[in-house]
Amino acid sequence: MIYELRTYWAEPGRADDVNARFRDHTRHLFAKHNMGMVGFWTPKPRTDETGDLVYILIHESEEAMAASWAAFRADPEWQKARDASEVNGKIVAKGTSQVLLPTDYSALQ
């Protein structure tokens, strides 16, 4: 198993819209495309370094992660949800992804 740490920075004033997109659409689509969800967090305090939304996904391997993301991005349901959430402009300014490998002493393997 590998873990993927993802961080999103919202466009100014759009953090609630980013959270709404994940709450209303994205979590369902992650499950549909075999992405396990560990959790979602909002940093406190939110700063330029922390971003506005942080979450961790589980994948079987880096190859499985790449395949899941490709299927997710090609999914018409995702494209429709993304477009609907951006009808008043972009909501995500920046996003990052980092693969995390569990240590041999980690409770999460």
User: Residue 24 sits in which domain range?
Assistant: 2-100
Task: In whole angstroms, give the CA distance from residue 60 to residue 63.
Answer: 8
Structure confidence by residue, pLDDT tens digits, 47-103: 999 999 999 999 999 999 999 999 999 999 999 999 999 999 999 999 999 999 999
Asked if the model's pLDDT at residue 109 lies above 80, the reply is no
Task: In whole angstroms, give the CA distance from residue 75 to residue 31.
Answer: 13
38-48 average pLDDT score: 94
Task: In whole angstroms, give the CA distance from residue 35 to residue 81.
Answer: 18
Q: What is the pLDDT of residue 77?
A: 96
Domain tally, the chain:
1
56 in a structural domain: yes
84 in a structural domain: yes
Residue 57 in tokens: 């996904």
Check which CATH number belongs to the domain holding 52 and give it. 3.30.70.100
Q: Cis bond leading into 43, ω under 30°?
A: no
32 in a structural domain: yes
